[in-house]
């Protein structure tokens, strides 16, 4: 199935299991607005290349649309629709006053020069400027987009509107209104969720081994913070493959090696492994932190971990979900596990609008409070109704969205 159809299956399963309002469920099947744009860019050689871009605004019952902008060659409308839907669910799960949106451009940014990347970023934000704004839709970084790119975009938005409005985009550099703690927020939030699962299971961090698929920003910060918390990170990977070391991996050295060589191939470890093999290692926790649909009907039966902590968006298909649940493997779903990023984006948005800027300690304390509350809201509903954590998370989110829609008289 397509990614968006997978998302709708998750919604259908939650609706059936939790008796959700059919009117709200029907509304949530459809994005509120879809914008597809052509983005012409003058390349360094003088030629003009046109890229396809998207912004999908799924639901704004609880507040402005919120969601990242990604630059990736495989970005398409189906993917962006799914990600916008998951953002609507995620914001409701972590209980921040946003709806769901997502955007992206079909491009391989690694093939662009710095100048070409800046011109693309500015052209894309000009194209979607009519449908975004601090009170309307607030983009953020996502796959292959950075604080530098967000800075170009917020500057271009100021040129278009004639007013510098830092709250229009989150994930910015600190110098122009970014929030301390934002870079590590998604990984840190995932660790907070894992910590609460561990406490409920009455286990010690030092006794648990972890394998992380995808050692980009999210995966690296999660792995680094998990190691500092006492967990043993024994396997990591990037897009080219990974390494496994039973004694644990020195993440700082691994990151330095990757920066020098471009990938992890050749990094000292017990053995090199593929991304596929990493998910089947005999570890306690696997963390898909890269791309969608990596756990499927084909490989779910070979998963040996106790827990799947989803830091990527949509890494597990509905068929895999069913198999994992049947094996007694706990899945901490993406709409809960990776919501730390949007939580701190919310803090950044608030700071931009009030002019009061928090310390990193304040940000991290507030993030922990939101993540712990969200975990127990979801886990409590799962226990009460005998649901998986994913189904409980969706049920909780849809109920919160329904309350907002009913309060606004949308029925």
Catalytic residue ranges: 102
Q: Beta-carbon neighbour count of residue 27 at 10 Å?
A: 18
Question: Rounded to whole angstroms, how far apart are CA atoms 114 and 319?
Answer: 41
Q: Report which secondary-structure segment, H or E, holds 260.
A: helix 251-261
In this structure, what token pair is assigned to residue 371? Answer: 């993540």
Mention every residue, 6+ apart, whose C-beta is less than 8 A from residue 35.
54, 55, 56, 57, 128, 131
In this structure, what token pair is assigned to residue 88? Answer: 């609507």
Q: Partners of 103 in the beta sheet?
A: 55, 69
**Full DSSP string of 275-339:** HHHHTTSS-SEEEE-S-SS-B-TTTGGG---SEEE--SSS-B-HHHHHHHHHTT-EEE-HHHHTT
Our measurement of the distance from residue 258's CA atom to the centroid of its chain's CA atoms, rounded to an integer in Å, reads: 22
Question: Rounded to whole angstroms, how far apart are CA atoms 345 and 101?
Answer: 13
Question: Rounded to whole angstroms, how far apart are CA atoms 223 and 215?
Answer: 8
In this structure, what token pair is assigned to residue 366? Answer: 């507030």
């Amino acid at each position: 199935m397509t990614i968006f159809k997978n998302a709708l299956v998750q919604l259908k399963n939650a609706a059936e299991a939790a008796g959700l309002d059919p009117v709200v469920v029907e509304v949530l099947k459809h994005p509120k607005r879809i914008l597809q744009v052509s983005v012409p860019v003058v390349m360094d050689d003088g030629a003009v290349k046109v890229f396809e871009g998207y912004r999908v605004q799924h639901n704004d019952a609880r507040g402005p649309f919120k969601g990242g902008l990604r630059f990736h060659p495989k970005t398409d409308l189906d993917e962006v629709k799914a990600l916008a839907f998951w953002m609507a669910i995620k914001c409701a799960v972590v209980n921040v006053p946003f709806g769901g949106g997502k955007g992206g451009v079909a491009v391989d940014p690694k093939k662009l020069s710095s100048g070409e990347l800046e011109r693309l970023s500015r052209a894309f934000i000009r194209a979607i400027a009519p449908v975004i704004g601090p009170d309307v839709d607030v983009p953020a970084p996502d796959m292959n987009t950075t604080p530098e790119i967000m800075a170009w975009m917020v500057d271009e938005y100021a040129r278009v509107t004639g007013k510098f409005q830092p709250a229009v985009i989150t994930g910015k550099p600190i110098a122009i209104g970014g929030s301390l703690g934002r870079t590590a927020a998604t990984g840190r939030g995932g660790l907070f969720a894992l910590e609460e699962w561990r406490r409920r299971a009455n286990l010690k961090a030092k006794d648990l081994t972890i394998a992380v698929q995808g050692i980009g920003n999210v995966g690296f910060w999660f792995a680094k913070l998990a190691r500092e918390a006492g967990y043993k990170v024994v396997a990591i990977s990037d897009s080219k493959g990974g390494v496994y070391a039973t004694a644990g991996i020195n993440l700082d050295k691994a990151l330095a090696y990757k920066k020098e060589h471009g990938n992890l191939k050749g990094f000292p470890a017990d053995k090199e492994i593929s991304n596929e093999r990493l998910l089947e290692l005999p570890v306690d926790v696997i963390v898909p932190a890269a791309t969608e649909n990596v756990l499927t009907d084909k490989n779910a039966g070979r998963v040996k971990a106790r827990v799947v902590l989803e830091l990527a968006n949509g890494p597990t298909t509905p068929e895999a979900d069913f198999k994992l649940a049947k094996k007694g493997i706990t899945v901490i779903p993406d709409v809960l596990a990776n919501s730390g990023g949007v939580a701190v984006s919310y803090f950044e948005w608030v700071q931009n609008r009030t002019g009061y800027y928090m310390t990193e300690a304040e940000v991290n304390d507030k993030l922990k409070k939101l993540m712990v509350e969200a975990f127990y809201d979801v886990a409590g509903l799962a226990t009460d109704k005998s649901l998986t954590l994913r189904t409980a998370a969706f049920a909780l989110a849809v109920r919160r969205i329904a309350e907002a829609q009913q309060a606004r008289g949308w029925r």
